[in-house]
Structure 1
């Protein structure tokens, strides 16, 4: 079992601070640090703006990114006419602090380019997608330059690429898809360079084919967008379209296990300083709640499986059939109790893996029992999530 040290939860520097604070200021100071980390995880906002010219497919892109279709209740409104007159924020399912903001189209009579940038207040957003459905335009350049002026980053998304490929086929051309895509991508990269924007990130996608063209590469790169304080909440918002996303979620939850286990270890000595309702010792009810949250974070709850099945065009029953763990669905109390008993027996094995925490809590304490139990549960959920991705998209 490898140790995780993801900075979004408990960095190596913070672990050392835990050790120092424990010696100098007592467990109360440690409790406050741990409390701050959990609060940061549960309350960090991440706002992504989706901008570009009208009709480029912004609404459909937002739906695809959230694993929704146009007829779903929470879907962004799509259409061939102008549908967005002001920024509209769309939450990711189950994650209230991650938003994709659909901005009105630039260059229309309602939003001419010279007024658009000021009205849209780009400084409000953490990251940008510039969506285009045609050749590189002056408006694309203006958007990119404003984003760079604000020292922020963007991805350029060329949508409706399947239409371009279909046109080549209808003209009876011999199509080498890889060569065509490289030519189109290089055209946009060169166009940005002419505007003084070096090394832009360009993805060529179809909004309706989330596991084809550049959509898988886009999903793989997305977790690297946010700053450390925002990374966790954003990664958990992504649908499980690749094995890489599943692994990134697992690594982040390993970091969260450190924080939750530390709460457990601090309970008896510093309970007045710990928020009510957080994990208490090795209480089975609390552990069940954490594992249910892990299940949602790993995309194994019913709602997430339904959305993924729609994206993949597969019956949801096929995905549920490969999720063979009792931790999915209605978590059984007896299952958690059995895992808990095994964790008590083997908790001492974890001591050497976490030397800093090991100096504070003794082997067999609630810290190590909790750490072992949640780690085992996460490993099982990860294996199931990986099977679901393979069943949905045929990933090897």
Structure 2
């Protein structure tokens, strides 16, 4: 049986192991198994390598993917000179486990092609973005072949695509934008195929125009080619620029809710007075704070979005209408628990039957159900607020 899109990050084998462990050793024996999986989610690293020739727009691309401009704290240095002399890490401002690495361009005097592979230690990266602002070179193709031998994915990005279109305008040429873009894409693909790259993925982008050209398709492709946990990490690192991104984040966070609810339910079953309630509070407080950060509703994320959208931060903050963005205190969460208790019990059968193996471990009055119900409600409320912010930022219908 395959996992459903909303099931936790457990394989069928792992779910059966949870059940048998609880039957033979009690639910307290399940706690470390679940905690290990939660820790795996929290500690998974994603290292993304970005390379290309000097001036191709690597650093600007890295900044764009992290929602930063060149003068922001932590931004990658940009310029026409070679500013990258060694692999330089740029962690995501909200998720430091997601790190973009600015690699020197292959084929320069300092990094000739025959030494590049060894010096760059390519094995450490999860996938590669090869950037060019004109045409992809023989060295780009050579690098792609080396990456393929390592069993890793690579993607070609043509940056500054507006330069091609502006040249036609300046020459007074009448053209259809979509047709010209398709010509550029086919030309790039053809050159790479001639260099020995079969079925190359080429994306045409303009840095900072995150909802235009192939930028949305690039982000979707990168996410879909990652395994389950790394896919979640990557999606949660994306800036909220479309309603589709917010919906994908919501789906991934529902999976995390299952994980946290199982952990809460397992710890809550341990017969130690006060442990269940204390654990629920800690899980709930941390999760709500994380959710609003992942959904771009914290002050820092909203400030970065104003730069990308060109809208005053006050306009975006006016769309945030939930107490969940305020202080998340113990008393605040206790009030939420009391308010959710009756509703949680009323939906017990539907929730517990959703994943039968897990449902068999917990009862209708369990900490599992309370945590699931409260976090699911909080996620839906935060999602609605994030959607309003994006609509205000980009005029999305």
- TM superposition score normalised by structure 1: 0.92
Equivalent residue of 2:32, what SS? helix
In the TM superposition, what are the counterparts of 1:213-292 in structure 2 within 5 Å? 213-270=213-270, 280-283=278-281, 286-292=283-289
Q: Which residue of 1 aligns with 2:59?
A: 59
Q: Is the 8 A contact 2:268 2:367 kept in 1?
A: no
State the distance in 1 between where 2:286 and 2:194 align.
54
Stretch moving more, 226-235 or 166-175: 226-235
Q: Give a deviation string over 1:27-78, Cα, whole Å, max 9, x none.
A: 2431121011111011111111001111111111100010000000110011
What's the offset of the Cα at 1:279? 8.5
1:383 lines up with 2:381 in the alignment? no
- 1:1-396 equivalent positions in 2, closer than 5 A: 5=5, 9-270=9-270, 280-283=278-281, 286-331=283-328, 336-348=333-345, 349-353=347-351, 354=354, 355-396=356-397
CA drift of 1:286 comes to 4.6
C-alpha distance in structure 2 between counterparts of 1:380 and 1:171, whole Å: 52
Can you list the C-alpha shifts for 1:343-392, whole angstroms capped at 9, x where unaligned? 21022313323332221111021111111000000011111111112211
Change (3 A) 1:318 1:219: farther
Once the two structures are overlaid, the 10-residue window that deviates more, 85-94 or 383-392, is 383-392
- What is the CA–CA distance in structure 2 between the aligned matches of 1:208 and 1:248, rounded to whole Å? 21
Is 209-218 or 307-316 further displaced after alignment? 209-218
How many residues were matched structurally? 389
Alpha-carbon spacing, 1:150–1:271, altered in 2? closer, same or farther (3 Å): farther
Greater shift, 114-123 or 219-228, is seen at 219-228
Unaligned runs of 5+ in 2: none
Contact 2:268–2:366 under 8 Å retained in 1: no
Q: Does the Cα contact within 8 Å between 1:45 and 1:98 map onto a contact in 2?
A: yes
1:92–1:99 CA contact under 8 A, matched in 2: yes
State how far apart, in whole Å, the 2-side matches of 1:7 and 1:103 are.
37
TM-score scaled by length of structure 2: 0.92
Does the aligned pair in 1 maintain the 2:27–2:267 contact within 8 Å? no
Contact 1:31 1:270 in 2 (8 A): no
- C-alpha displacement at 1:4, in angstroms? 6.1
Question: Judging changes above 3 Å, is the alpha-carbon distance between structure 1 residues 12 and 344 closer, same or farther for their aligned structure 2 residues?
Answer: farther
DSSP 3-state at the match of 1:129: strand
Once residues 5 and 11 of structure 1 are traced to their aligned partners in structure 2, the CA distance between those partners, rounded to angstroms, is: 12
Q: Are 2:260 and 2:283, in contact at CA under 8 Å, matched by a contact in 1?
A: no
Which 4+ stretches in 1 moved above 4 angstroms?
A: 3-8, 332-335
Instruction: Report the secondary structure of 2:393's partner residue.
Output: helix
Q: Secondary structure at the match of 2:190?
A: helix
Shift of 1:197: 2.4
**What stretches of structure 1 of length at least 5 have no aligned partner?**
none
Q: How far does residue 306 in structure 1 lie from its aligned partner after superposition? A: 0.8
